[in-house]
Amino acid sequence: MKTLFRAGIVLRTFLCLSSISCGDAVVKPPDKVIVPDTIKPDKGGEPKLELILLRNLAGHDQYVFYVQFSPDGKKLVSGSADKTIRIWDIDAGIEETRVWGIYNAVWGIPVAYSPSGKYIVGGVYENLIVYDAADKMKELSKQTAHEKGIQSLKISPDGKYVITGGVDGTINVWTLPDLTPVNKVQGHEKEIWSLCLTPDGKYLLTGGEDTLGKIWSFPDLTLKEEIKYHCFPIEYVDISKDGKMFLMGSADSSTSVWKWGQYSEPFRVLKGHMGNVLVAVFSKEGKYIFSGGEDDEIIAFNIESGQEVARLKDHWGDVMSLCVSPNGKYLASGSRDKTIKVYLVQE
């Protein structure tokens, strides 16, 4: 399981950072490695960014594994290791609805709103479940999806499919809402920790414990590209809203940023976290990357310059999930400290 595996990674992270060799593969570092702690910001030209704490949502009894805004940006869904999925009213700052999962493990639940806002899908350990978001989270369909647990899930931009990645290393595609199996491939030799679709729904990006990033055509799941850059597992992947860039956040404490179609070396490598980068996401307009890590911090980077432009220390546990609202004005974070924070993004 992802969260248990990390403890061994942290002890070895700094050995990797001082080397350009990962086993038998030699990794060529990029020409421009951006290390924010050693670079002084350009006070004259660097855009200003503020992240203002608006809400502290407390109620979960275990770590918050995943958060996502509703399509209208008024609600937030969270999945936690306390075996619950909860819907929060952001304006009121209160829990609106919750549903309990039944499984015998300490397991974070990945969750997703459908593009229409009609459905919420949860990866409840080995089971994939579709709920009616408007009818008190009524269960609509359920399938056993992955042996030993679901690590990541996404819904296609057209709302037709659910894509899951699991501990078994497989990628599964299902119809929404009935969860009819469409496709399945053995995507990685080890656990898949994160996956993401391009905005046009034509390609899927996956990353996981085997340190590889992979690009697949969708929904036929034909492998198009395999990227070997990081020395340690890929914790999280994301694609910019315009589809021109993607990122991979790694257990080697860095986030690599890539231009789509250019896979020989990253466009930027962003460093600043002490320990694993557990999550990293693009801002709506693609100017910034927000990352969270085992150091309990959230860092905002300007992509073009590679500069760190903001750093938050509001959590006292690992920052495990980040999500930008559809209008780009808010950032939500889920943490091992059992809380969710909602920030106003002010440029």
Q: What is the mean pLDDT of the chain?
A: 89
* H or E stretch at 298: strand 298-302
Least confident of 41-45, 103-107, 331-335: 41-45
Under the banding of pLDDT at 50, 70 and 90, the label for residue 341 is very high
Q: Does residue 129 carry a pLDDT above 70?
A: yes
pTM to 2 decimal places:
0.88
The CA distance from 208 to 235, in Å, is: 6
Q: Does residue 45 carry a pLDDT above 90?
A: no
Q: How do residues 78-128 score in pLDDT, each as one tens digit?
A: 999 999 999 999 999 999 999 999 898 889 999 999 999 999 999 999 999
Give the CA distances from residue 92 to residues 55, 88, 120, 268, 342, in Å, rounded to whole numbers and listed in that order: 9, 8, 21, 39, 12
Average pLDDT over residues 62-77: 98
pLDDT at 5: 42
pLDDT at 46: 57
Average pLDDT over residues 5-19: 41
CATH number of 2-346: 2.130.10.10
Average pLDDT over residues 180-197: 98
Q: Does residue 2 carry a pLDDT above 90?
A: no
The amino acid occupying position 149 is: G
Length of the chain counted residue by residue: 347
3-state helix, strand, coil in the chain (%, to 5): 5, 50, 45
Phi, psi of 306 (to 5 degrees): 80, 5
